[in-house]
Each structure stands twice: as structure tokens, then as C-alpha cells.
Amino acid sequence: MSGQDELDGLIREAVNVLSEGFAVLDSDFKMIFANRASLRHFGKFHAAVLDGADRVDVTKASVRPHMPGASEEAITAFAVDFMRRLESGEAVDMVTEAGQTARVVYRQMSNGKWGAISTDISDLMQKEKELKVAKRKAEAASDAKSSFLANVSHEIRTPLNGMLGMAQVLSASSLTADQREQVDAILDSGKTLVALLNDVLDLSKIEAGKMEITPVDTDLSHVLRRLYKLWQSAAEEKGVELTLDFAASLPARLKFDAVRVRQCIGNLMSNAVKFTEAGEVNVHVSIPRSGPNAGLVQVRVTDSGIGMDEATIGRLFAPFTQADGSTSRRFGGTGLGLSISRKLAQMMGGDVKAKSTPGEGSVFTLTFAAEAAAEAAPQGDVEKGSRSAPRLTRPLNVLVVDDVPLNRKVARLFMEHHGWSVVEAGHGGEALDCLAAATFDVVLLDVHMPVMDGPETLAKLRASGEAWAGVPVIALTANAMSGDRERYVEMGMDGYISKPIDQREMFAEIGRVMAAKLAKAA
């Protein structure tokens, strides 16, 4: 046997042991050679074409059982298109003579003949089906979890609104020192519970892939200065010096999601103040021009607190994790803040990292991507989501629509304390009757109500054609998932107040909405 014959034999044997089908066809698509796998896949097809049958007719015969009820014209069109796709080099999935699925690719050679490869993808397709089923189940479970958490949050916020609302009313009255301390304890505990609810909802939203990042042109220094004022008194009470400084090269305005950045930095500042008993907490903001964080906004929060070892840092960003079992007992908290902050930072193109030494303090570094602002903002502009609003110069007539009497009472007591006039309605139908009978400056409208809910009420109000069709309407709701504010604004609401109601935030939102109305009328 010559060397060439031996090589040909080796090649033929090698091709035959392949699990993939391999065939060589002449220019008329008649088989010249086919390995065993190809014959298992399409042996009858090859034999029929070799006997002179038209390949389109053979294709029609092979696909007809898989197209029940199809017309002959449809089957012919499919067969012709099928062969065209093969000749164009497109990968085509075919049912083999054994009932499996093979992916077939034709390639034309320089002499006009064709090489054909067929790969059994039945197992792959089965796995894809299983993955799709698993994905649907996971998505359904995630949706169910999000829905459950949203419902639980809604139900918890309703009684919380009564508790915290009445505590705020008490706080504004004449109290003894002991009574004021007791009311402050109620308010602080309630706010902690609200913060926990918000953290759980945010984590659920992120894990479900439903958290959205919305960059807007914003003054970053304004965001930081407001956070500084928020935590300054808490630091001073502990004798901790809180400082804030900005790199000289930091632009006046940048495009980023102010709400999420504020949330991340707020978590870092809160932890720094919480875990520092003495010394200082410094917040430094810059945009490095070199190194791993080049081009990203960098917010470095340095404290002289209790510090951590490497093992603790390694598990620090897992949800519901704190330094050790005693941390929550000593300092409080749920261990969600850092996990959420890191996830949000990564969604914004950055990260949160930590360095620390036990007993010597910690450095947390937040980075996030930000673009240059499109144009300079008007004097006095503030970032999206600001609660600042002009002071109202006269008492307002307000319609409060809510099916829970206690919720209406809380809002009424807040506003009557400032001399405002309040009318209550228990559902949308009553609200429309009230609007027809009297003039109101603004409507606070609950979303979930019997008889007529908030969205239906808003739609009928706006479509009424009455003089009051344009009255400002603010959603007053226990729905506090991320994105709810935007959803209600898109629905046609002029503003949004979440329950439990914070008195200052309520007046700020009403003031903002009324100012927008006056500006539009001017």
C-alpha cells in the first residue's frame, strides 16, 4: 500500500468516527462521499438524489409530515427557500431521518462541488428549552417576590402613616421634656422602619433588573452639601468632626443620577458617622485623571472609627451582612445599605470599595460615571428630586382623597396647623362631587381606593371639561417602589408624596407643585 493510499484510509476512517455528519456533493448536489453520521442523518435523502430524484421534491417529501394541514404551495415554497438558504451558506436546522434535529451548513468549494456538515443539536435544544422554562419560572418567582414585597410595604406603610403622622402632630404641640423625648423615640423608630422598607424594596428592584438609572444635569456639590447638613448635627452630637471638600478640577455641573448617587453617598456617610466614636469623618470628591478610576467621579469617605479586618471586608457587601453578630446590636441597621450602594454604583459604571484597619478607621470609595453637563443651569437651579420649594404666601384650600379615615386625619391635622382649609373624600366619586361643589387649590389623591381608585379619578377629572379639570393633583400613596414617582407623573399626576407622610416633605412638594402652576400661568 502506498503512502497516499494509507493517508486516504486514515482520513476516511477519521471522518467516519466523527459524531458530526460530513459529506461531499457534486455541483448537482449528488453525494460523492458521506461519513456514517451523515448517512444516519440523511441517508435516504442522499440515496434518492443519487437515483435521480429532484432535491426539492425530496425535501418536500421529508418536510411534509412536519407541516400538517399546509397546502402543497406552502410546502413547495418552504422547500425552495430551504435549499436557497443552504446554498447561501446559512446554517439550517433539519429533522433527521431518526427524528433528531441537526444543524446543517453547506460550503461551496473552488471546483464547484459542495462540502456539507451536519451536527446533532437535539441535546442542545432540549437544554435550551429547559433553560427557557427555568428562566420563566425564575422571572415569575422574582415578579411574585417583588409583588409580595410591594404589597407588604403598602400594608405596613398605611398604619405607619397613622403612627408617625400623629407623632409629628404631637411633636409640634407643647410637651414636657420627658414627653418630647418619648415622641422623638417614636419618630426615630418609625423612620428606621421606613428606611428598612425602602432598602428591602430597592434590593428587590435591583435583583429583578427593574431598577433604572436616570442621569440628569446636576450640581454635584449641591448634592454633597445637602448630605453634609443632614449628617452634621449627628456627628456634632458624638463630638465627631465632619468635613467636606472638593477637588479644584471638579466641574460645576455633571450629568448623573442624583437620586441614586445621593443614596449611595448617604449610606457611606451614615455608616462613617455611626461607626466613629471620636475623631473625624472626611468626604473628598474628585475626578482622577490617571489610575484605575481615571475619568470616574470619586467620592472618598474616610473615618477614624472602629475599622475592620480583611475577612470582614470580604463579606461586607453581601446583603444583610455586618461586621459581626454584635454590630447590629450595638449600632443598629440591617446590613443592606452597602450591598445596595455597590449594586447601584456598578449600574452607574463604577463601584464601592473599602480599605480598613481594625481600630484605625476605614476608607470607602464610591466611583460612578458622569458626563459633562449639556449647558449651564439657571441661577438657583437644584438637582432633580430636590424637595426645596418657595414658601407659600397664602393658606390653601385642599381636597384630601383617601379611603382610610386616619390617613385623611393625619394630612388634615398637618395642614390645619398652618391655617389651611381641608375637605375630605373617601373615594374618587366623592372627590369629583367635591370638586363640582367647591374650588380647591390642590388635590391629594390616594391611588388604591374602593368604588373609584386614583388613576380612574384622575382620568375622569382631566376629561371632565370643567373649570377644575386642570387642578393640580398630587399622588398620596403607600406605593413607594423605585419608579413609582415617575409612573404617577407619566399618568398625569403633578406630584408625588409617599406614605408615611413626612410633614416637611409634604409641604415642600405642595409648594413645588403650586410654584410650577404659577410659573406655567405666567
Mean pLDDT of 283-299: 91
Confirm if 453 and 428 have CB atoms less than 8 A apart.
yes
pLDDT above 80: residue 37: yes
pLDDT above 60: residue 77: yes
Specify the pLDDT at position 261: 92
Question: What tens digit of pLDDT does each residue of 483-510 get?
Answer: 677 888 888 999 999 888 888 889 999 9
501/172 Cα distance (integer angstroms): 15
- For the chain, what is the total number of helices (H) and then of strands (E)? 16, 18
> Band of the pLDDT at 378, cuts 50, 70, 90?
very low
Backbone angles phi, psi at 167, to 5 degrees: -65, -40
Mean pLDDT of 187-206: 77
476/155 Cα distance (integer angstroms): 14
Least confident of 208-212, 282-286, 364-368, 464-468: 208-212
Radius of gyration of the chain (CA): 34
For residue 74, CA distances in Å to 29, 60, 64, 78 come to 23, 10, 10, 6
User: First-to-last CA distance in the chain?
Assistant: 102
Beta strand segments in 269-412, E: 279-286, 297-303, 351-357, 361-368, 371-372, 397-401
pTM for this predicted structure = 0.55
Helix/strand/coil for 239:
coil
Question: What tens digit of pLDDT does each residue of 293-329 get?
Answer: 888 999 999 999 989 988 888 888 876 555 544 444 3
Mean pLDDT of 348-361: 93
Q: Which residues of 91-129 are buried (b: 16+ CB within 10 A; e: fewer)?
A: ebebebeeeebbbbebeeeeeeebebbbbbbeeeeeeee
Residues of the chain with pLDDT > 70, as a percent, come to: 92
Q: Which domains, ranges and CATH numbers included, belong to the chain?
A: 14-120 (3.30.450), 138-207 (1.10.287.130), 220-372 (3.30.565.10), 397-521 (3.40.50.2300)
339/341 Cα distance (integer angstroms): 5
Angle at 256 between CA 254 and CA 257, to 5 degrees: 145
DSSP string, 395-446: --EEEEE-S-HHHHHHHHHHHHTTT-EEEEESSHHHHHHHHHHS--SEEEE-
Specify the pLDDT at position 67: 87
**Average pLDDT taken over every residue of the chain:** 86
> Band of the pLDDT at 204, cuts 50, 70, 90?
confident
For residue 250, CA distances in Å to 16, 71, 492 come to 68, 70, 37
